[in-house]
Copies of this chain bind each other. A is one copy, B any other.
Amino acid sequence: MGRGKIEIKRIENSTNRQVTYSKRRAGIVKKAKELTVLCDAEVSLLMVSSTGKIHEYISPSCTHKNLYDRYQQASGTDLWQPHYEKMQEHLQKLKDINNKLRKEIRQRHGEDLDDLGFQQLRGLEQNMEKSVECVRNRKFHVITTQTDTFKKKVKNHEETHNSLIREFEERDADFRFPSLDFEGDYQSTIGFANGNPQIFAFRLQPKLQSADLQDEETYGSYGLSLS
C-alpha cells in the first residue's frame, strides 16, 4: 500500500486514524462504485467513524432500505414483521372488545335489543333491576351521609353562635355596668359590637335542585375512527 508494509491493527493516534479513515473511506466507496458498474451489482455501504460520523454509498436506483429488506428476507431474521403483525392483531382484539362493550352498554340503555330472545331479555331486565337497586341504595347512602354532615355542621355553628351571643351579652353587661378592669378591654368589646352577624348565614342545599340526566363526559359515546 504505502511506504513499507502496514500491519492491520488499530491506529492509536487519533488524528492519523481519522486521516486514514478518510482516505480509505474514499477508496472503499470507489471500489463499491466500480463493483456496481462493472459487475451490475447493487451495493449498500454504511460506515460510522470512531467519532460517530456516518458515511454511505448506495448503488443508483436503489435504497438502503430496499437492500436491507432483501437481506432480512434472505437471512430470515426479520424481527419487525412478526412484531408488526402482533400489534395489528392486538389492535383488532381491542376493537372487537370495544364493540362488545359498546353493545352491552347499548343494551343496558334499552337499545339494540332486536337480537335478544325472551329469556335473555328477562335476564337482562332482572339484572338491571338488581343493579338499579344498588344505585338507589348508594344514592340513599350518599344523601344520608350528606344530611348527617350538614346536621352536624348546623349544630356546630349553632353552638358557636350561641356561645358568641353569650359572650357578647356578658361583655354588653360589663359595658353598661363596667367592672374594675374596663379600660383594658374596651377596644376588643367594640370590635365584637361591629362584628358581622351575616357570618352565620350558610347555604344548606349545595345545588341539589336540578338532577339532569346524562353527563356527556361519563355516558357519551366514545367515538374512534381507525385508519
Contacts and interface: CB of A to CB of B under 8 A. Distances in A.
Interface of A: 8-11, 17-18, 20-21, 24-25, 27-28, 31-35, 37-50, 54, 56, 64-65, 67-68, 70-72, 74, 79-80, 87, 90-91, 93-95, 97-98, 100-102, 104-105, 107-111, 113, 116-136, 138-139, 142-143, 146, 207-208, 211-215, 218-219, 222, 224, 226
Contacts of A142: 117-118, 121
Given A9-B37, A21-B35, A31-B24, A100 B208 contact: no
B118 A146 contact: yes
Nearest to A145: B118
Contact of A127 (B65, B97, B100, B213): B213
Nearest to A132: B128
Given A35-B28, A219-B127, A208 B118 contact: yes
Q: Taking chain A's interface residues, is the majority helix, strand, or loop, or is none over half, making it mixed?
A: helix
A141 B38 CA distance: 80
Name the residue among A8, A104, A215, A224 with the largest chain B CB count within 10 angstroms: A104
Nearest to A83: B84
6 contacts: A11-B40, A94-B95, A97-B222, A120-B218, A121-B139, A123-B215
B54 A38 contact: no
Contacts of A48: 41-43, 67, 70
